[in-house]
Structure 1
Amino acid sequence: MSKKVILALDQGTTSSRTIAYNSEGKPIASAQQDFEQIFPKNGWVEHNPEAIWQSQFKTIKSVLSKDISAKTVAGIGITNQRETTIVWHRETGEPIYNAIVWQDRRTATFCDELKTDGYEELIQEKTGLIIDAYFSATKLRWILHNVEGAMDLAKNGNLCFGTVDTWLIFKLTRGKVFVTDVSNASRTMLFNIHSLKWDDELLKLFDIPNTILPEVKSSSEIYGYTELFDVKIPICGIAGDQQAALFGQLCVKKGMVKNTYGTGCFLLMNTGEKPVASQNQLLTTVAWQINGKTQYALEGSVFVGGAAVQWLRDGINLIDDAKEIEALASSVTDSDNVVVVPAFTGLGAPYWDPYARGSIFGISRGTSKGHIARATLEGIALQVYDIVKAMESDSNTRIKELRVDGGASANNLLLQIQSDIFDCDVVRPTNLETTALGAAYLAGLAVGMFKSKKELRKQWEIDKTFKPNTNKEGQLKLIKLWHKAVNRSKNWLDD
């Protein structure tokens, strides 16, 4: 076995992590550091770009102090919170404003104006995205229009815009390398996913000079080197967090699907080498590009996944610890017609209803804590079901298995419910940290530490496969009740 390691930098919304992987794809050291969340106004979410960098830098140094020499690092892979937008001075590396985080809603009104002006079809056709404040374009426009002097500096080539991957590479190379990869570029709403280039028509629409944009590279190649750790280490893999998780789950063939059960749920389906335009309000995105071959994905988001369990714990004190939900939900054989719609912050794909709200239907005198707990797990699984059915419809592909990761995938009952509803296998791997693993795989392929995707598939190990039970009638009834409840939860608040 090679003594070489790959460092995966996993820069997330609330913390930064570094994990060292050996040549067998096993984690051998890790470090994590939280950083501050900034909420200047209602609906605004920011990060200090220097805090992002410092937290990530500290985790690298921490891992390199754990019996791992910088000389043994074959390469660095980066995965990151997507869409978060940073602008800085090209010469000094000083940010001109805080990072505007993907969750930030300050540009929602401008997005509404774009829709009113009829730009939805153009933007979806070019970028695969729906118009939303979630993506980088309107955030970047806001910074250029609201920070004094920013637009002039940008036009004169004095500013850099980047998503978090670009910012970290700029810092790691002391400003020598200014790049992003196709997966992150495809989340900006400025990138044409067909030509794989920044789109001049969109840049004009958003009033963004092209001098501010990074060079777009593949997801697995040597972009440059960092010399911050006494030796030259290649930086050689980049992917946005959900695309990295898809790769870490080795969903490398058309039709393969993964779901990450986190605070929300993120589903991606590999659609092969052609982008599939969604008719069901899903996003079309670049999955990755390796050796000149680009693969695409369909993506759908559930806003509230594991957060529904947190609400049972913190909101109504039904449980004291999130781990208790499985035992409580298992105390009953079914939910006795109780349906929980966890639309606490509206409904995501395929409904996209920001005015929907959480609801519980079907309560009777016989309803117990166990019924509500089980119905909550069913509510998470049924939201995932709706997105996968939309993906199947868009791609004309029936899924054969669902690969799962994320914190809530440790819940066996949730995954059994998911398998029953889908009537297909739900597969949980031994390594649930698939986002960082995906970044490590992309970097390792670029420097030859991993020889091929085929070799990587041999490393992927199953922890447990959940097989569907045969009660079709019960599942169909549950799905019917769910859709009835969703329809009654929609548009609860007046818009």
Structure 2
Amino acid sequence: MTTVLAIDQGTSGTKAVVVDGAGKVLGLAELPVRPAYLPGGGVEQDPGELLDSVLEAGRQALARAGVPIDAVTLANQGETVLAWDPGTGEPLSPAIVWQDRRSEGICAELDGERERIAETTGLILDPYFSAPKMAWLRRNMTREGVVTTSDSWLVHRLTGEFVTDVSTASRSLVTRLDDAEWDAGLLELFGLGGERLPRIVACDEVVGGTSAFGGDVPVAGLVVDQQAALLAENCLKAGEAKCTFGTGAFLLANTGTSAARSTSGLAASVAWRVRGETSYCFDGQVYTAASAVRWMQDLGLVRTAADLDAVAADDSEGVLCVPALAGLAAPWWRPDAKAAFTGMTLSTGRGHLVLAVLQGIAAQVAELGDLVAADLGQPLSTLRVDGGLTRSRVLMQAVADLTQVRIDVYPSEHATPLGAVALARASLDPSLALEDAVDAWEPSTTYEPRWPAGRAADFRARWREAVSAVTAQGTVRTTTTREEER
């Protein structure tokens, strides 16, 4: 049976798990990493801290498992970039995190190319994606070395190879959605035409070997984190969807093997490429979920995330929150949006504020669910969820109430690494079908809507009015559907 060390290198931590062929976790280690939140929308990480966390977490997980491994696999943040020396592997810049908004000006310069970029890449022109941050780094930090997403650097340090996987590349704004290859014209558009770029590999490919964890072990099954969770939660058919509640909340829906574009402002990208066939997905983002909880911790509203349910009021008493602490994504795409509370009175307490933040996160997820349903042409019947914040019954019930669909909680805290494990298995055994590489599961908890549809609709209408007030500040840019354009 294949035993895999899976490393999930995330925004606020690195997790390593050793998983056997039956899906049992034999060893686990988690180490925090600390993004620096800077004035002006900057978010950076120390590359050395990222690498050290990958090596140390991997070694700790292996020590706890006490068994040899057959492969190492890596899931990555997706849109975090850095410059580095391809000769020495040394970083030449901080890592510019996916939440960083300092490339807004570059996106504004290219506003006239918005439709061309969307049609070519399936993505919305926004600082969230890789290329604007790469261009900003080149303008403001260094012209030396190469500039890539963080996975390419980490894999290079492990194997010496210069690669990125197809799902990560599809998040860049400079790859074509239809064939997931670099697009020379878009690279020129972002001022990246002369850059040396990594080879794009499939998700079921052995990309090299590493001795970083003892012996010489293949590195295989590379994938971006959210797509890894989509796979682990068995969203293998068109229309099946999941939402991961981590630093942000990310709702992805499988769209099958056709490279469809969203008509409602969602991003379209590669889910994975396995056995020569590419699967695609729509995705929408809530930029602040656990990071909004950390913000509440910093303000003293809650001590830890485990306190959310105890502190949250039973009713918000009319208080609403638009938790746009790092801007708003689909369908607004307003990186300049700021967070706001409305409806407060002298009787408003911390419990009302905590509940309003959780309901604000849930309301954004509900908006994304509507967009996915519009693009798929059918409503979601079930939403599968994973991530640390699924422990909050208040948040999960709010998601069920506002989406008006059943919520199935994934039984493991390790959806992302388990998805990467499935791809590593597929890499090592070419005869293994993808569906057989994924472990079967049953939900640990299910939430059904308690609010009647009318109450949910009324809440969401009032919440949208609050969003309108937030987005009215400054220049409003809306994303219209193709039907509306007609």
Give the TM-score normalised by structure 2.
0.89
Q: Which residue of 1 aligns with 2:8?
A: 10
Q: 114, 124, 137: which one pairs with 1:130?
A: 124
Give the Å deviation of 1:288.
Answer: 0.7
Give the Å deviation of 1:119.
Answer: 0.8
Q: Secondary structure at the match of 1:427?
A: strand
Structure 1 residues not aligned, in runs of 5+: 151-158
Q: Which residue of 2 aligns with 1:153?
A: none
Q: Say which is worse superposed, 348-357 or 426-435, in terms of deviation.
A: 348-357
The 1-side partners of 2:367 and 2:422 are apart by 31
Q: Which residue of 2 aligns with 1:155?
A: none
Aligned residue pair count: 476
Q: Secondary structure at the match of 1:188?
A: coil
C-alpha RMSD of matched pairs (Å): 2.7
Q: 91, 95, 102: which one pairs with 2:91?
A: 95
8 Å contact kept, 1:185–1:191:
yes
Q: Which residue of 1 aligns with 2:482?
A: none
The 1-side partners of 2:394 and 2:322 are apart by 18
The 2-side partners of 1:235 and 1:120 are apart by 37
8 Å contact kept, 1:18–1:59:
yes
8 Å contact kept, 1:22–1:28:
yes
8 Å contact kept, 1:25–1:459:
no
Q: Secondary structure at the match of 1:132?
A: coil
Give the Å deviation of 1:240.
Answer: 1.0
What code does the residue aligned with 1:164 have? Answer: S
Percent of residue pairs identical = 35
1:21 aligns with 2:19: yes
Q: Say which is worse superposed, 293-302 or 133-142, in terms of deviation.
A: 133-142
Q: 344, 348, 370: which one pairs with 2:329?
A: 348
* Distance verdict in 2 for CA 1:452–1:384, change over 3 Å: same
Q: Which residue of 2 aligns with 1:65?
A: 63
8 Å contact kept, 1:378–1:417:
yes
* Distance verdict in 2 for CA 1:449–1:100, change over 3 Å: same
What code does the residue aligned with 2:177 have? Answer: I
Give the TM-score normalised by structure 1.
0.88
Q: Which residue of 1 aligns with 2:375?
A: 394
What code does the residue aligned with 2:148 have? Answer: G
* Structural mapping, 1:48-87, within 5 Å: 48-69=46-67, 72-87=68-83
The 1-side partners of 2:255 and 2:44 are apart by 33
* Structural mapping, 1:395-434, within 5 Å: 395-434=376-415
What code does the residue aligned with 1:138 have? Answer: P
What does the per-residue CA deviation read over 1:240-294, in whole Å, with 9 as the maximum and x for residues that have no partner? 1111111122211111111112232111111111122223222111111111111
Give the Å deviation of 1:367.
Answer: 5.3
The 2-side partners of 1:236 and 1:119 are apart by 36
What code does the residue aligned with 1:322 have? Answer: A
Which structure has the larger Rg over C-alpha atoms?
1
* Structural mapping, 1:94-493, within 5 Å: 94-115=90-111, 118-145=112-139, 150=144, 159-173=145-159, 175=160, 177-209=161-193, 212-315=196-299, 317-329=300-312, 332=314, 334-363=315-344, 370-448=351-429, 451-456=432-437, 459-469=440-450, 471-492=452-473
What code does the residue aligned with 1:98 have? Answer: P
* Distance verdict in 2 for CA 1:28–1:336, change over 3 Å: same
The 2-side partners of 1:322 and 1:276 are apart by 38
The 1-side partners of 2:37 and 2:457 are apart by 43
8 Å contact kept, 2:55–2:213:
no
What does the per-residue CA deviation read over 1:281-317, in whole Å, with 9 as the maximum and x for residues that have no partner? 22111111111111111111112323444444432x4
Q: 27, 31, 34: which one pairs with 2:32?
A: 34
What code does the residue aligned with 2:388 have? Answer: G
